Chains A and B, each alone.
Chain A
Amino acid sequence: MSGTFVGMPAFPKAAHEAVGNTTLRANLRHATHTIRDKRAKAVAELDDWALLREAGKQIKDHTLRHLDTYLVQLEEAVTAAGGVVHWAADADEANRIVTRLVKETGESEVVKVKSMATQEIGLNEALEAAGIAAYETDLAELIVQLGHDRPSHILVPAIHRNRGEIRDIFTKEMGAWGRPAPEGLTDTPAELAEAARLHLREKFLRAKVGISGANFMVAATGTLVVVESEGNGRMCLTLPETLISVVGIEKIVPTWRDLEVFLQTLPRSSTAERMNPYTSMWTGTSDSDGPQTFHLVLIDNGRTDTLADEVGRQALRCIRCSACLNVCPVYERAGGHAYGSVYPGPIGAILSPQLRGTASEIDASLPYASSLCGACYEVCPVAIDIPEVLVHLRERVVQGGEVTRRGAKVTLKPAKGHAGERAAMRAARWAFTHPAALATGQRLAARTRRFHPRMLPGPGRAWSATRDLPQVPAESFRDWWQRTHGSKESGK
């Protein structure tokens, strides 16, 4: 399966194709506009939305500030409840731990419930390399996996596919993975869901090992929480003998009381539901019921480095509701794949360059994948000021500076390819701090205006290829003012 994002081109290039693909754009537009309108209604029902948003932000900030304390508390609670906690500093270590744990069970098949953390680290590929087949059981993930595709949305990874495409994928691919699609499958939602249900049921009943993520972990009791709408997650969490949960360290909340806030804001922000249909919680193991062995793999993979950045750390508040994707005009046109990560859209644009660094082409281009319109900040249920972090990361790209990488302070050099821009910014700053020079420039532009091209040269060509430039006026405002009000003593 071509599930990795390694070697992605820069965002503008990746977006170019999506912008030209009318089916994709129509699929995305329809899906995001429907959900954004529903979300707005669901949120408007709560009088105290602004307070809930502030509470969510503060709970997360508090937890992040004392993350070390809460993680130790969590480990103790999980261990006391019969679970085993593993710590993974990066993707490789996490993959090694999980592969070893699966191998120790003697199994060569696992069922998975939607876990972005495992996609972030490329677990499926690592398991496959070790001869272990991993089956996604979330409906949308299944579509992505069967289609040899990559997720393009946090909540609806197959958002870029329409019903006809899904039917074709099921008919063609299901047989190779297990129970084939029924004969004469149509593209009605009920038939598609039934085909997936039958296919997956067989997997659930056979699987001895389940791998999950978690939306939240409660430090006080060592409880993990998954919220979902299909019920496949619950089967995946309860039927296997061994459960391995792979979770990012920032998913922690101190107590059950804190959960209450997010159980209100998450479903409304993500699916526009008042409450999500299935909330599964598990605490270690129990003799009578559920998995008999439980492992929790806590992954860092760039998170503590992100935590060290004063402005950027707010990205770790994210509860992955995807509201920011659904209102983002750039995501709507560029599609999720262009972001080169399991985290697409506005949150991806600030999270990936922090978790992975800004060394690659795609990561250096992500902070620019936004017009800074602010719609994402407005809807975010934990008030992440995404535009603020984008600008902060742009600064890192063009000017370099000190960052934390694997716990150590390193100084980044400015990224290549910005030298012309940097010189232009400096020149503009010079002219703007010398008003007389600015006036001279304006006069020169006005005098030569008949010779101005309607197309810009160099990098500006991209702009003028699709838009016409305005004509430079014969007289700048300051010259007009000087001419008409010049006698009056005016300012400095």
Chain B
Amino acid sequence: MRVALFLTCVNDTLYPDTGRAVVKLLTRLGVDIDFPMGQTCCGQAHYNTGYRHEAEPLARKFSDVFGEYDAIVTPSGSCGAMVRELYPRMGERARAEGRGDGLAATLAPVVPKTYELTEFLVDVLGVTDVGAYYPHTVTYHPTCHGLRSLGLGDRPYQLLRAVKGLDLKELPGAQECCGFGGTFAVKNSDVSAAMAEDKVRNAGSTGADVLCAADNSCLMHLGGTMSRLHTAMRPVHIAEILASTQEEPLS
């Protein structure tokens, strides 16, 4: 099976540690993972802000770069949702606008092959115990796209529960949005900040020292809020927890 890592532009630029963690984790599980250098961005920010026409060339490029692989793995629920939920919709819209089936046909092959990391682990590799060791108290925030668009459900919890040394705390109001929402955080910054503060407070009430999620954009927003509120908690991507082992622990 030829597996490609779709890291996303945000992770590539700002969170390379998450990418290294995915590589380490999947290699440990016997997956030979490739990082196609031609990849850039799935076009989500463009699409969601109303620039669908700017997103289309990015989607085409995505298909072009990843089309040849058997599976595409991404450590981002929202970028995964962009490909799986919104690429088909972009194809439909192009058709409705009388531009034919071209876009739909170009994008169709990558849609079913794209997996968010926890889906890939549980559904494709069939593992929940990835042999990780992480001696911390953790609470998990199921980000909106992972929760509702992709329907990740119990998968991240199954994976976290199998991590040795990890004490998993239930997050009150887990299903509520953290307030990031891409450009929403800028355009409606008051409401966005209020949402983040409530999320950070809820997370703090669990006594956990780590807030974990499967999306670095949400974690950036929450981490920025934690730092501003001077909380002791840290944001950590789930890939980094799952990559951590007794021999090579993540601090």
Contacts and interface: CB of A to CB of B under 8 A. Distances in A.
A374 B13 contact: no
Interface stretch (B126-134, B153-161, B188-196): B188-196
> Contact residue range for chain A?
35 or more
B186 A435 contact: no
Interface in B195-227: 195-196, 220-221, 223-225, 227
Nearest to B189: A462
Given A378-B148, A480-B20, A492-B37, A399 B186 contact: no
A374 B13 CA distance: 28
Nearest to B8: A477
A428 interface: yes
Interface residues of B, number: 72
A51 to B, nearest CB: 19
A118 interface: no
B13 A445 contact: yes
Interface string B171-187: 00001110111111111
A470 interface: yes
Contact of B194 (A333, A373, A398, A492): A333
B48 interface: yes
B54 A425 contact: yes
A459 interface: yes
A466 B193 contact: yes
Main secondary structure of the interface of B (DSSP, over half): helix
Contacts of A435: 37-40
A283 to B, nearest CB: 40
B48 to A, nearest CB: 6
B52 interface: yes
B49 A329 contact: no
B58 interface: yes
Interface stretch (A11-19, A53-61, A197-205, A287-295): A11-19
B218 to A, nearest CB: 10
B106 interface: no
Interface string A462-492: 1111111110110111101110010010111
A468 B45 CA distance: 21
Interface string A417-455: 000011001101101110100100010010000000000
Given A12-B190, A422-B51, A433 B9 contact: no
A329 B195 CA distance: 7
A223 B177 CA distance: 42
Contacts of B149: 374
A374 B37 CA distance: 33
A5 interface: no
A262 to B, nearest CB: 25
A480 B177 contact: no
Nearest to B49: A394
B112 interface: no
Contacts of A442: 12-13
B185 A388 contact: no
Given A370-B184, A378-B148, A391-B47, A333 B191 contact: yes
A373 B50 contact: no
Contacts of A237: none
A378 B145 CA distance: 12
A374 B144 contact: yes
Nearest to A438: B40
Contacts of A468: 223-224, 227-228
A372 B184 contact: yes
Contact of B185 (A391, A393, A398, A463): A463
B16 A19 contact: no
A467 B225 contact: yes
Contacts of A431: 40
B157 to A, nearest CB: 19
Contacts of A488: 34
Interface in A382-405: 388, 391, 393-399
15 contacts: A11-B188, A373-B148, A374-B144, A374-B149, A388-B89, A425-B45, A426-B54, A428-B54, A429-B51, A433-B58, A463-B192, A465-B189, A467-B225, A480-B16, A491-B65
Given A372-B48, A478-B35, 19 more contacts: A12-B190, A25-B194, A330-B188, A375-B144, A375-B175, A394-B48, A394-B49, A395-B50, A429-B46, A432-B43, A435-B39, A460-B186, A466-B189, A468-B228, A473-B15, A475-B16, A476-B12, A477-B20, A490-B37
